[in-house]
A = this chain, B = another copy of it.
């Protein structure tokens, strides 16, 4: 069996920088037509120059593959309107992190004071710049996303023309919120469609499946599967592929993140096929994002066939992917 996907998009992607960028950028660029690149570098991407420089480094690193890095800016509540005006053509969205909630988010937002956030959000709304949000409170790890829903609702209500993307949602509560506001959208990762906390810590502990937001309960995964497999029009694929060097993953104080970029399309094909939903994969992995963000990615046809694919144990001796050493039921035949 063979399927082809037109211009697959990964709408939540960590490409990192330096050596890691050189390893992972070609792996995303090989099978995707574009990706929304997260700005949580050290220091975070907060200037036009940083955006452009980072884009240039990505383009150098990705090699000859046809791939558009859609850039983001790290949300700051003190951005000036003229700055946002000047940078808007260089970015596709602005990413808001609560301070300290995940890797390199220390400079994020503390508290969600509407008065403090309103000036920038108002300008973003006027300029049509979507807001991407890592929606977790500082509460108990299994409750953080559900506790954040009222903040999503407050933002959605106060800025009805602002497109707000709930990033990497993991709970039935976030899925339910999707349909309550026209301007709420969501990305869903590959790993949250496959795993629950049981896969991370139910048997032996699996650090390569440890991520933020942490994988939740079976009923949460069911809710995510329901909207992803059904290609709910407000839901997009975003891998949140988050590479860390193996020695940072396999040690006490293991960093959060699952590395899925090179196996994401194969993993999605396997999942959608298992559930008899292959006809919805195109919408989930490209069409919905094109419509929601109003983008036209480069034409790129990716052909997959149902043939076992052995996932590498590690890439470049450094980064361990999800499904390392395991066999997936689908492989990429060609992309171009």
Interface 9-mer from A110-118, A125-133, A203-211, A259-267 = A203-211
Contact B207 A142 (CB under 8 A): no
A252 at interface, CB cutoff 8 A: yes
Q: What's the interface size class on A, roughly?
A: 20 to 34
Interchain nearest-CB distance for A259 vs B (Å): 13
What is the predominant secondary structure among interface residues of chain A facing chain B?
loop
Given contacts A200-B201, A214-B201, whether A207 and B254 have CB atoms under 8 Å apart is yes
A251 to B206, CA, bound (A): 8
Contact B198 A140 (CB under 8 A): yes
Given contacts A141-B197, A198-B141, A200-B201, whether A252 and B250 have CB atoms under 8 Å apart is yes
When distances are taken between beta carbons in the complex, the residues of chain B under 8 Å from A256 are: 204-205
When distances are taken between beta carbons in the complex, the residues of chain B under 8 Å from A317 are: none
A250 to B198, CA, bound (A): 19
Contact A250 B253 (CB under 8 A): no
Contact B252 A208 (CB under 8 A): yes
A198 to B207, CA, bound (A): 15
A217 at interface, CB cutoff 8 A: yes
Q: Which 8 A-B pairs have the closest CB atoms?
A: A205-B254, A141-B202, A204-B253, A205-B210, A141-B198, A250-B251, A205-B207, A141-B197
Contact A252 B206 (CB under 8 A): yes
When distances are taken between beta carbons in the complex, the residues of chain B under 8 Å from A200 are: 201
**Which residue of the partner chain B has the closest CB to A102?**
B203
Contact A210 B201 (CB under 8 A): yes
Interchain nearest-CB distance for A104 vs B (Å): 13
